[in-house]
Amino acid sequence: MEGLLDFVLRDILTRSGGVDRCVSEFIRVTNTLLPARTFERIVPELHNGGRTFAGVPVRPQLLGSDPVCLAENAAVLSGLGPFGVDLNFGCPAKVVNRHGGGAALLEDPELLTRIVAAVRRAVPAHMPVSAKMRLGLHDDKRAEECALALEAGGAQELVVHARTKADAYRPPAYWERIADICSVVKIPVIANGEIWTVQDAQRCQELSGCQTLMLGRGMVTDPGLALAIAAGVAPALDASNDDAPHLAWPTLLPLLADFWHLVRTRLDRKKQAGRLKQWLNFLRRRYPQAHIAYLELRTIDDPVLIDHWMAHRAPSEAILRAAA
């Protein structure tokens, strides 16, 4: 999830528990051999043994369409000690697809096989190579064929986002089509797409046949979601309300403060205010308190003023709790 689930948010979200592994934002590979510092900039966890500070392994993801160039970059990346290499065949962005990357590759299963095979040969045998795909570009008619092509190339694990590129992020996700893919491949399959609640997760597992799930926007919106799914519990705040978050607001507040600290110390000043507001914009789908915080900060772009807001949040917490 480019521009959202970066190393800062990975650090914070993995502190909540329930996450077994992260996949990085995609690293775009065109016709250039990227230096090690590029991989380390996007995946600074490589300086921490390939793990977030909560100890969760991170698998860097490459995006491109040239088998040779991807293989050469994967070789450089493998020398930095990641927990495997992931390949992106699912990005729906127009600019990526226009250049033949992401979901556009699902129109050419033979190329899928060549890409995965080239990367598999380029990295050490003990290092996993995985792939993420959508159901297709314009339709899902070749979903099984594409999955088999990725398996044939040597992918050892497959994440399937249960929508086509044409579906974008519009509900629903077609989890039952993942079951069709599971029936033809022998490698582990992980289900992804439209998982916002424990109930969604359980329904996805039932329809897809996959016990392992990948979370995206649902985890950003509700940082306690992964742990709740792992525990198989209903929403902690209101068991009758499927929209209730699984992590109480007072528990989330320290994570929000830590997030802001990381943003202030690790990101460019011009991006800092926007990153906080971006996460609050997701959080307010579940937390009334986050909605109020977002409204308070919406017009503030000076990080120093946000520092002041953070430092003096305690007096307004009574207001936030009352509003909830």
Task: Give the Cα separation of 150 and 169 in Å (integer).
Answer: 23
Which positions are catalytic?
Answer: 91
Is the four-CA dihedral 185, 190, 191, 192 of positive or negative sign? Answer: negative
Burial of 94 (0-12, 13-18, 19+ CB in 10 A): exposed
Q: Provide the residue count of the chain.
A: 324
Give the relative orientation of helices 67-78 and 109-122 as an angle to the nearest 10 degrees: 30
Instruction: Answer yes or no: are the C-beta atoms of 17 and 226 closer than 8 Å.
Output: yes
Do 278 and 259 contact (CB within 8 A), yes or no? no
Backbone dihedral angles phi then psi of residue 125, each to the nearest 5 degrees: -60, -30
